[in-house]
Amino acid sequence: MEDKEQFNLLINIESILDLLNTLGKQKFLSQTELLLLEKNLLSLKLLILSNGIDVSKFKVSDKPKFETDDKPSKVEKNILDFIKEKEGADSLEIFNAFPQFSRRTIKRNINQLLRHNLISRQVINNNKTIYSPNH
């Protein structure tokens, strides 16, 4: 398997882990089923990474795209509306406002908003990150 294919497989494994996290929070899976699935996916990820794939040579734009348009998703719109309403929010506030989503899902959506230049990131005192809406 080529590095590019392995990289895409790693990205898909991360997406499946996000989905499993959400399914676990929604109680669609038992804790045992969830942990077994996560264990198997992480074992596969370890096997791929132990083959010496150099993921640093791939850019974020090399990740497979599943969405066909560049419109913000419903989750992204909700996060953006929350940030606009608060006129800026830190990560913890955003995580607490959307407990139905995993932190990883929220971070991914925040990164999408940053890429689309809908919000900006500002680091305060080297330890607190504030996200503000772009006008």
- Give the separation between CA 70 and CA 76, rounded to whole angstroms: 11
Cβ burial of 46 (10 Å; 0-12, 13-18, 19+) is exposed
Q: What's the domain range around 44? A: 3-54
Residue 95 lies in a domain: yes
Q: Quote the number of domains for the chain.
A: 2
pTM over 0.85: no
Contact present, 48 and 93 (Cβ < 8 Å): no
Residue 97 lies in a domain: yes
Residue 70 lies in a domain: no
What's the pLDDT at 4?
A: 78
Tell me the CATH number at 105. 1.10.10.10
Are 80 and 123 members of one domain? Answer: yes
Structure tokens, 11: 């990205």
Contact present, 120 and 134 (Cβ < 8 Å): yes
Are 13 and 44 members of one domain? Answer: yes
Are 46 and 86 members of one domain? Answer: no
Are 126 and 80 members of one domain? Answer: yes
pLDDT per residue rounded down to tens, the chain (135 residues): 677 788 888 888 888 888 887 777 777 778 888 889 999 999 988 888 888 776 666 655 544 444 445 677 888 999 999 999 999 999 899 999 999 999 999 999 998 898 888 999 888 877 788 999 987
Are 81 and 50 members of one domain? Answer: no
Residue 18 lies in a domain: yes
- Give the separation between CA 57 and CA 67, rounded to whole angstroms: 24
Are 89 and 127 members of one domain? Answer: yes
